[in-house]
Structure formats: structure tokens, C-alpha cells
Structure 1
């Protein structure tokens, strides 16, 4: 027999807000162990995100208390956790070019040519960055070898969610678990 509950937790902090909908449950298995699961949907100023966990090993209040930012935000934001950043892309490409020149992997003239192309490149979005990289043999080789430099950073929406709303959600969830356990 499965037991499940639905909780709505409203969090307001530093001008940000979110409604967290947590459907959680547990069920006894034939071997006597318990399977804990939950569905979390978050409607917030940082976006609408959610995930389903099928085997948490413990109730949601305990499980979420032990999750890291990297783990949780990856589950909630998925492929949108990292976003393109022109400054990061340009800086990383320049650093790689300088390193290769310093290590004498590039001649002075070739390094100058690549530098000038990079300075003039339109890298204002990820598509433009990809076109630039794959439009030049040097950069294509770097990226296809798996050594391409960073050109993304953590989505600021995910970072804001973690900083402003997640602590309040955890506190409220722990308080509700304490009340449920102790009556």
C-alpha cells in the first residue's frame, strides 16, 4: 500500500517568491524495505522547474537536506543549467591561444592571425560561437579533441533559486516533517 501526500509551500525572500508543490510517498516492498519517491514542481520568480525522484532512500525532507547545489540544480534545470556567456567564451579562447603560443604550438604569425580573427569575431550568442569555432581548422581541432575552453556559466536563474528560495523551502519542509513526526 502506498502512502502519499501533497504539500504546497510558499516561500518569499528578498523580493523573490516561489510556490513549491511536493508530492511525496513511500511504499513497502515485498522484501520489507521502503521505497521513497517524490515529485517536486517549483513555480518561482526564477522560472518553473521540476523533477521526479523514484528512489530517494529516505523521506524528501531528509533527502533534500543532503543534496548539493550541483546535483539539485542539474535535476531541476537539466540542459538549461549552463548558459552561453560571450565574455567567458572570448576570455577562454584568448587564454587558450596565448597558452598555445607560449608553449610554441603556434608560430607568431599564425597566433597573430587567430588573435585578430578572434578580436573581430561576433560571439554574441552560442550559435555565432559555434560558427566561429567550426569555421577555422585550429579552433575546430581544439574543440573536437575535447580540449575546448569553457564558454558557458551557471544559469543565473538557477543560482538565484538556490540562494534565495531553496533555504526557505528546506526550512519549511523540515518544520512540517517535525510536526508530522511529533504531532
Structure 2
């Protein structure tokens, strides 16, 4: 008869996610994980499989959290509102005390696929904005997408280095003030 688990699997997974978020996959050791999760190596293997499987499950958990910035914003009415919301959510989440600072996806090199997906979602939304006249006809959607990406990476990096929400919010306000105006009457934030 198998012994029942003596730990909360969901809590252990959250701890693993936070550790991967802080250190990345490569720098996180099995010992780091067992200490953070409060379980033995055999328990980790029995509950989650190997380190790679645990990492994949931790990433899947992360993708269900409010810390994932882009999906919360792409439905906004105007391109400016999309970008302002992206920056607002980023500032809130990158400085949250509920999890490690910064962005998990931005900070771990292994998550490049998710970074590309986020950029594609932003690019597609900005293309739509340009087609609808919400961005100037000569707007360079690739450059604007890269602009949002660079600002997000900078906000994440600064948060990881200890910058507070007030500092990041000031940067986000400067970044959004540089956003190109669309047609007259477009809603501005």
C-alpha cells in the first residue's frame, strides 16, 4: 500500500514556480527545489517526475496567473490603451510581493517561445489598430512592437534589481507619452 503524500502538491508547485522564476531553469538545482518545496528528492520525483517535467508544470501554472501581462491588455479599445494597460499590469505584477519580482517569461532564456507568442499578440493587435486608423498610416508596427518589448524587458529588469512600483510607473508614463496619436477622437488614456 502506497504511503499518502505528506505535503500540499499545489503549494509545493507554487514554491517551485517561484524558485524557477527567481533563478531560471539552469541555475536551479534539485537540492534548491527540495529545500524550497519542503520535500525530499524521492517525493519530488514521485509527485512531479524529473526537474524538466516540474519546470514545465511550473511554467503552465505561471501562465494561469495574473502575472501574465499581454493577454490582459490586447482586448482594449485602442492601441494606446493596449500599451498603457500592458505597462500598468507590468508595473503592478513586476513589483508584486505575491511572487518574485519581474517577469518569469522575460527572465528565463528557455521561455523564448512564450516571449515570441506575446510579441505576436502585440504585433497583431497593433496591425489591427493601424488598419482601423487608430495608428498613423506611416506607423512602423514592427518598431512599435519592439518598443513595447524593450520597455517591458527594462521594467522587468529594474524590478528584479529592486526598483519599486513608483519608479517603474514613472518610466511607464514616459514610455506611453511617446506613443503615436491615431485618428482624431480616438480614446486616450
Please say whether Structure 1 and Structure 2 have the same fold, judged by a TM-score greater than 0.5. Answer: no
| TM-score, normalised by the number of residues in structure 1 | 0.31
Q: Which has the higher helix share?
A: 2
Higher strand share: 1
Rg larger in structure: 1
